[in-house]
A = this chain, B = another copy of it.
Amino acid sequence: MAKSKHNFCVIMAGGIGARFWPMSRTSHPKQFIDILGTGETLIQQTYKRFSRICPKENIYIVTNELYKKLVQTQLPELTSNQILLEPARRNTAPCVAYANHCILSRDPEARIVVAPSDHIILKEEIFLKNIETALEAAAENDWLLTLGIRPSRPDTGYGYIQYVDGHEEVYPKEPHLRKVKTFTEKPNLELAITFLKCGDFLWNSGIFIWSLKSIMKAFETFLPEVNNLFKMGVGKFGTRDEKKFIGETYTICKSISLDYGVMEKADNVYVLAADFGWSDLGTWGSLYENRPKDAQGNTVIGKNVMLYDTSNCIVNMPRDKVVVLQGLTDYIVVESEEVLLVCRKTDEQNIRQYVNDVMLEKGEKYV
């Protein structure tokens, strides 16, 4: 792969992965876990993937201060300037604004990929080819690009992107690159089924590609108050003063998502329809889809798990724990650091509620 010195990558790693509790904990969220049992954590996989198209020194991690040590330990190659620490959770727009200004101080000609740290991508070659195409398109055009996934089922857990189904190709080199018509938040099942039938809806992967110029312009237009806050830090990024400045900025900055604050409002948004074996691993169910299964449809992580009359379960147990499960169908059975969860797969949307209850009753230690 060509590694242009103008290629930059911003990996967003501030989430707490509540839906993956109890594996994912506030103190050690999903992106820092080897959740598939591959030997690498999700953020390590993500970093490695992008280091194939970006010079390593051009990769930034934006994460919460809480996770500084986790990032340093898992990605020891990074210099401290590449780890942008957020003192508070403010959703994705401030995170991108922060990264923009850091990159601006290094390379105004930068082309940037913004990506979550905790997704899986099974077909990496295809993915990287898509990224390169998008980076090229972003260099040539004032476009905000996103990768859209061709939906395989009416999933109600994803946002959808509808593209303009015109006959004219907007980008001759890549017929699957289309102009975006609308963004839609997570739909209900009926709507999701309709989207699937239409054929011009894609899943919103949350992976964005643009030139620094284009995204700065978009912020100036649609989120000037956020952009101006960070603009006041010019000269401080990469210096000793950065931390204090960011502390003050995050205190007053509003919390807003990139989708809502920028993408849904801009009219120069384009989507590259892609298929690279993607999952946001947002739920135990999505982990289940992405793991090998035994003849009874169980996916098991754990060396000493014995199953009897058990099918279609997700089992994730500490390596040396001896576990006997009998008579379970369609359950999630997960243990991590002194917390055990047994829950029906169909009811996993309630996990957030359990986490809240555990926090209220037992304290932060367990969530």
Contact = CB atoms under 8 A, between A and B. Distances in A.
Given A304-B362, A306-B361, A362-B304, A324 B338 contact: no
A193 interface: no
B358 A322 contact: yes
A66 interface: no
A222 interface: no
A324 B304 CA distance: 22
Interface residues of A, number: 33
A361 B306 CA distance: 9
A75 interface: no
A186 interface: no
Nearest to A327: B344
A342 B342 contact: yes
A308 B366 contact: no
Most buried by B among A323, A342, A362: A342
B328 A342 contact: yes
A362 to B, nearest CB: 6
A223 to B, nearest CB: 39
A328 B309 CA distance: 15
Interface of A: 22, 304, 306, 308-309, 317, 320-328, 331, 333, 335, 338-344, 347, 350, 354, 357-358, 361-362, 366
Number of copies: 2
Nearest to A339: B322
B322 A362 contact: yes
A343 to B, nearest CB: 4
8 contacts: A304-B362, A317-B340, A322-B338, A322-B362, A322-B366, A324-B354, A325-B341, A326-B344
Given A308-B354, A327-B331, A338 B366 contact: no
A-B pairs, 10 with minimum CB distance:
A327-B344, A326-B343, A322-B339, A322-B366, A323-B340, A324-B354, A324-B341, A325-B342, A321-B338, A322-B362
